[in-house]
């Protein structure tokens, strides 16, 4: 049992975490409900870009990483790390059903001496108010019989300088002993662990990080809209402001927020704050500005086509990049999907090209070859590297560049319309 760690959820967070612990000499058993993921890990084939298949295969072959759907495997581990999805419901309220379903499955298997850590992003109070009572229904008491903590994952998929291993890890336990235990566990595999006084502090830390980004992106998105009206190049302004060596941090405007975290997590806090008669107005305002961006970008495409004496309806629009950010294959909550939907609703003939995303099954589209010849307008929604944007500008009759990928001067230079 010592040196054996269970990770529930073998996704974007769970699989890299398994790799890091296994490489530090721990034995990891992953628990997942997806037969495809189980089969894939068993073959040593990775489906997460940050975990190279050759690493995974080596660790699986050496017996350092195993995977199963059977929660009974958790009876044999010293620590259980939960890395499951925390989405919003259709009414945009926290949906903890996946996490709590798993905790209900863990409780009857909980062993004396085990450590349980929730890694999923959630509102302050989740670990104490939601997990602790379910786990204590086992008859074991937190602090005495088992340890419970929260430690947010900070992985930035596709990033190479800051990885799961060297990104500092914040940890807050229900009792000081819970914190100490969790800190000791993570220190075995991660370079820096930062303890805080409670799970609530750790839960809110993660939300602050995401809210900080969301609010700052909303600020530059709003500024981009004003700059469009004033015919000022917002990218030039942000680049110039970024030359200030202190007191400024640069954020880029764009077609909207994407990914599993940014469009979702801030609203976990908004929901919880209502319990305290508190309205998180910055979060709401940022959400409003960011959610409006695909609609605003639709207007920009329409205006650009109009300037070329074309209606959006019937125009051939090639969307370049549909992943939610550059150089990854993840399309969750990608603003490109919303923009495609809006373009299609207006009668545009939409195709897309993305070297990382072969299919968009819900849109009934597959990635088309990068052939500009037939397009009336190319819309750069996600700027993957490795694409020759100069050649695109040279060949296309009209380019709407929502990421400043072309580096064109000004906001509208006839052919290139920049956000
Ligand atoms: N993806 C990121 O970049 C990122 C970064 C930081 C934090 N987070 C947070 O981490 C959490 C997990 O996110 P993710 O992106 O890894 O999700 P994910 O969807 O990639 O992974 C979740 C995994 O859990 C599995 N699963 C679902 N129900 C299960 C169950 N009952 N038992 C066992 N396995 C089950 C799924 O099959 C999937 O493999 C979320 O709260 C997210 O907000 C994600």
For the CA of 156, the closest atom of ligand 1 is: 3
Name the closest-CA residue to atom 44, ligand 1. 13
Catalytic, 261? Answer yes
Q: How far is the CA of 34 from the centre of ligand 1 (A)?
A: 12
Q: What is the pLDDT of residue 139?
A: 96
Q: Are 122 and 200 in contact (CB under 8 A)?
A: no
The CA 98 to ligand 1 mean position distance, Å, reads 9
Q: Which residues contact 246 (CB under 8 A, 6 or more apart)?
A: none
Q: What is the mean pLDDT of residues 117-140?
A: 98
- 121 Cβ closer than 6 Å to some ligand 1 atom: yes
d(CA 197, CA 195): 7
Asked whether the predicted pLDDT for residue 323 surpasses 80, the reply is yes
**pLDDT tens sequence across 142-174:** 999 999 999 999 988 878 899 999 999 999 999
pLDDT at 90: 85
Confidence band, pLDDT 50/70/90 cuts, at residue 107: very high
Q: Please indicate whether residue 206, judged by its CB atom, sits closer than 6 Å to ligand 1.
A: no
Ligand 1 atom with least separation from CA of 8: 33
pLDDT at 373 over 90: no
Q: Helix (H, G, I), strand (E, B), or coil: what is residue 394?
A: helix
What DSSP string describes 301-354?
HHHHHHHTT--STT-EEEEE--SSSTT----TT-HHHHHHHHHHHTT-EEEEE-
Which of 17, 35, 82, 83 has most ligand 1 atoms within 8 Å of CB, for mutation?
Answer: 83
Q: Is 315 in the pocket of ligand 1 (CB under 6 A)?
A: no
Question: pLDDT band at residue 262, thresholds of 50, 70 and 90?
Answer: confident
Burial class (CB in 10 A: 0-12, 13-18, 19+), 138: middle
Ligand 1: distance of its center to the CA of 3 in Å? Answer: 23
What does the pLDDT average to over 93-121?
A: 97
Per-residue pLDDT band for 407 (boundaries 50, 70, 90) equals confident
Q: Does the pLDDT value for residue 410 go beyond 70?
A: no
Mean pLDDT of the chain: 95
**What CA–CA distances, in Å, run from 227 to 232, 236, 256, 410?**
5, 11, 17, 10
Q: How far apart are the C-alpha atoms of 267 and 283, rounded to whole Å?
A: 7
- Round to the nearest angstrom and report the end-to-end CA distance of the chain: 55
Ligand 1 pocket, residue 24 CB under 6 Å: no
β-pairing verdict for 115-118 and 147-150: parallel
Q: What mean pLDDT do residues 368-385 have?
A: 93
**Distance in Å, CA 13 to ligand 1 centroid:** 6
- What does the pLDDT look like over 29-83, one tens digit per residue? 999 999 999 999 999 999 998 899 999 999 999 999 999 999 999 999 999 999 9
Contact indicator for 179, 168 with CB cutoff of 8 Å = no
Q: What does the pLDDT read at residue 172? A: 98
pLDDT at 261 over 90: no
**HEC-encoded secondary structure of 237-299:** HHHHHCCCCCCCCCCCCCCCCCCCCCCCCHHHHHHHHHCCCCCCHHHHHHHHHHHHHHHHHHH
- Regarding the beta carbon of 11 and ligand 1, being less than 6 Å apart is answered yes
Does position 412 have pLDDT exceeding 70, yes or no?
no
Residue partners of 148: CB distance under 8 A and separation at least 6: 115, 116, 117, 127, 131, 132, 135, 142, 173, 174, 178, 199
Determine whether 229 is exposed, middle or buried from the number of CB atoms within 10 Å of its CB (0-12, 13-18, 19+): exposed
3-state secondary structure of 8: strand
Rounded CA separation 31/48 (Å): 16
Please tell me the distance from the alpha carbon of residue 274 to that of residue 280, in angstroms, as a whole number.
Answer: 9
Distance 248 CA to ligand 1 centre (A): 33
Cβ of 84 less than 6 Å from ligand 1: yes
Model confidence at 110: pLDDT above 70: yes
Ligand 1 mean position, distance from CA 11 (Å): 5
Q: Say whether pLDDT at 413 is over 80.
A: no
Helices and strands (DSSP H and E) totals, the chain: 12, 15
Question: Which sign, positive or negative, has the C-alpha torsion 405, 295, 321, 395?
Answer: negative
Q: pTM to 2 decimals? A: 0.92
Cα-to-centroid distance, 12 and ligand 1 (Å)? 6
Q: Among 85, 158, 203, 330, which residue has the most ligand 1 atoms within 8 Å of its CB, making it the best to mutate?
A: 85
For 191-238, how does the pLDDT look when each residue is reduced to its tens digit (9 = 90+)? 999 999 999 999 999 999 999 999 999 999 999 999 999 999 999 999
3-class secondary-structure state, position 226: helix
Active-site choice (227, 261, 297, 377): 261
Compute the distance between CA of residue 297 and CA of residue 410 in angstroms, rounded to an integer: 17
Calculate how far, in angstroms, residue 335's C-alpha sits from the geometric centre of ligand 1: 21
Asked if residue 157 has its Cβ within 6 Å of ligand 1, the reply is yes
Decide whether any atom of ligand 1 lies within 6 Å of the 98 Cβ: yes
257 lines ligand 1 (CB under 6 A): no
Ligand 1: which residue has its CA nearest to atom 13? 85
Task: Please name the residue ranges forming H helices in 78-187.
Answer: 97-106, 132-136, 176-187
Instruction: Report pLDDT for 371.
Output: 86
When pLDDT is averaged across residues 313-323 and rounded to a whole number, the result is: 97
CB of 261 closer than 6 A to ligand 1? yes
Pocket test for ligand 1, best of 87, 88, 95, 260 (most atoms within 8 A of CB): 260
Radius of gyration of the chain (CA): 23
What is the pLDDT, as a whole number, of residue 319? 97
Using pLDDT thresholds of 50, 70 and 90, give the confidence band for residue 3.
confident
Measured in Å, residue 234 CA sits from the centre of ligand 1 at: 36
For residue 411, the model assigns a pLDDT of 63
Does residue 229 or residue 413 have the better pLDDT?
229
User: How, if at all, do strands 169-173 and 115-118 pair?
Assistant: unpaired
pLDDT per residue over 31-45, tens digit each? 999 999 999 999 999
Q: 101: Cβ below 6 Å to ligand 1?
A: yes
List CB contacts of 414: < 8 A, sequence separation 6 or more: none
Q: Quick one: DSSP state of residue 362? A: G
Identify the pLDDT of residue 160: 87
Q: What b/e readout covers 1-40, taking b as 16+ CB neighbours within 10 angstroms? A: eeebbbbbbbbbbbbbbbbbbbbeebbbbbbbeeeebbeb
Query: What atom in ligand 1 is closest to the CA of residue 154?
Result: 6
């Amino acid at each position: 049992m010592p040196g054996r760690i269970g990770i529930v959820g073998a996704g974007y967070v769970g699989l890299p975490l398994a790799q890091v612990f296994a490489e530090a000499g721990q034995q990891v058993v992953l628990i997942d409900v997806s037969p495809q993921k189980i089969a894939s890990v068993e073959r040593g084939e990775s489906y997460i870009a940050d975990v190279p298949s050759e690493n995974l295969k080596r660790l699986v072959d050496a017996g350092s990483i195993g995977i199963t759907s059977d929660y009974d495997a958790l009876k044999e581990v010293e620590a259980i790390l939960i890395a499951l999805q925390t989405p919003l419901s259709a009414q945009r309220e926290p949906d903890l059903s996946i996490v709590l379903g798993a905790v209900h499955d863990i409780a009857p298997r909980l062993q004396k001496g085990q450590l349980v850590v929730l890694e999923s992003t959630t509102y302050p109070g989740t670990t104490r108010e939601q997990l602790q009572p379910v786990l204590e229904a086992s008859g074991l008491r937190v602090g005495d019989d088992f340890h419970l903590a929260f430690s947010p994952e900070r992985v930035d998929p596709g990033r190479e300088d800051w990885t799961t291993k060297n990104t500092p890890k914040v940890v807050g336990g229900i009792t000081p002993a819970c914190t100490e235990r969790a800190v000791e566990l993570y220190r075995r595999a991660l370079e820096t662990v930062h303890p805080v006084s409670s799970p609530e502090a750790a839960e809110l830390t993660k939300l602050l990080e995401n809210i900080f980004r969301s609010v700052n992106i909303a600020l530059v998105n709003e500024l981009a809209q004003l700059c469009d009206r004033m015919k000022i190049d917002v990218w030039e302004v942000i680049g110039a402001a970024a030359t200030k060596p202190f007191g400024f941090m640069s954020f880029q405007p764009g077609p909207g927020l994407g990914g599993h975290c940014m469009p979702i997590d801030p609203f976990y806090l908004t929901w919880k704050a209502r319990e305290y008669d508190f309205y998180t107005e910055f979060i709401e305002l940022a959400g409003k500005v960011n959610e409006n961006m695909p609609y605003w970008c639709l207007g920009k495409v329409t205006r650009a086509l109009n300037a070329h004496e074309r209606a959006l309806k019937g125009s051939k629009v090639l969307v370049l990049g549909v992943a939610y950010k550059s150089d990854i294959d993840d399309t969750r909550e990608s603003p490109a999907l919303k923009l495609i939907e809006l373009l299609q609703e207006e009668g545009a003939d939409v195709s897309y090209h993305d070297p990382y995303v072969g299919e968009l099954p819900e849109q009934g589209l597959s990635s088309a070859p990068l052939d500009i010849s037939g397009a009336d307008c190319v819309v750069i929604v996600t700027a993957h590297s490795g694409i020759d944007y100069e050649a695109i500008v040279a060949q296309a009759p009209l380019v709407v560049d929502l990421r400043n990928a072309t580096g064109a001067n000004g906001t509208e230079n006839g052919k290139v319309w920049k956000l």
